[in-house]
């Protein structure tokens, strides 16, 4: 089973990465990035690193890709597309099947684990030991990487705003003295 999860997650990562490079539409490329990041999150779950998987989905696949989409929209994809023409005719039925499958999987997971959720996990004497270790690691050993990432994101947003800012046109003088 581990091999199947590994192969499927790796296929997700590779397909998403190829989509980022191959797609001409920047929104589609951002969606390829989402697929890549979800595949990495599946790898984290397979390695039983659930916190990293949650961070991967929430921070990267959520916040960072939303930031990328904001930048793409701010730059303006100046192509008007006719939404009544379906470029890939099978995409809507396929989306319905994937959505129904996701609902079934989540429902099955909830039904199978409701006894475990109701009982709750068994805690150690100090139930916050993992949180303390994580905080100590994040804010001591990894603080430089954490802060550099935040500076990088701020610089990216500021650069995008500067690049997309339109110059005001100066009124031309006719050069005459009248």
Is residue 19, in this structure, part of any structural domain at all? yes
Dist. CA 28–CA 26, nearest whole Å:
5
Task: Count up the domains in the chain and report the number.
Answer: 1
Domain residues for 31?
A: 1-78
CB-based contact 17:40 (threshold 8 Å): no
pLDDT digits (tens, 9 = 90+) for 58-111: 888 778 777 777 777 777 655 666 667 777 788 889 989 999 998 998 888 888
- The confidence band for 10, taking pLDDT boundaries of 50, 70 and 90, is very high
Residue 132 has which token pair?
């303390």
Is residue 129, in this structure, part of any structural domain at all? no
Is residue 123, in this structure, part of any structural domain at all? no
Is residue 156, in this structure, part of any structural domain at all? no
Is residue 105, in this structure, part of any structural domain at all? no
Domain CATH for 62: 1.20.120.1200
What lies within 8 Å, CB to CB, of 57 at 6+ separation is: 37, 38, 41
Exposed / middle / buried, residue 34 (Cβ in 10 Å: 0-12, 13-18, 19+): buried
* pLDDT of res. 119: 61
* pLDDT of res. 125: 56
pLDDT digits (tens, 9 = 90+) for 153-165: 788 777 767 776 6
Q: At what angle do helices 65-75 and 26-46 cross, to 10 degrees?
A: 180
Dist. CA 56–CA 62, nearest whole Å:
8
Residue 65 has which token pair?
């890709």
Residue 76 has which token pair?
């303006």
Is residue 154, in this structure, part of any structural domain at all? no
């Amino acid at each position: 089973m581990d091999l199947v999860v590994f192969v499927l997650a790796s296929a997700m990562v590779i397909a998403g990465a190829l989509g980022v490079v191959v797609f001409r539409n920047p929104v589609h490329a951002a969606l390829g990035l989402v697929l890549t990041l979800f595949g990495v999150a599946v790898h984290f779950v397979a390695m039983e690193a659930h916190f990293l998987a949650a961070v991967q989905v929430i921070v990267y696949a959520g916040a960072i890709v939303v930031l990328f989409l904001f930048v793409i929209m701010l730059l303006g994809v100046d192509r008007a597309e006719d939404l009544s023409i379906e470029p890939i005719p099978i995409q809507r039925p396929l989306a319905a099947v994937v959505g129904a499958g996701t609902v079934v999987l989540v429902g099955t997971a909830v039904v199978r684990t409701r006894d475990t959720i109701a009982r709750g996990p068994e805690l150690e004497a100090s139930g916050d030991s993992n949180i303390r270790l994580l905080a100590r690691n994040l804010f001591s050993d990894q603080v430089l990487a954490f802060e550099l990432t935040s500076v990088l994101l701020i610089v990216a947003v500021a650069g995008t705003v500067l690049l997309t800012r339109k110059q005001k046109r100066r009124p031309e003088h006719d050069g005459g003295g009248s």
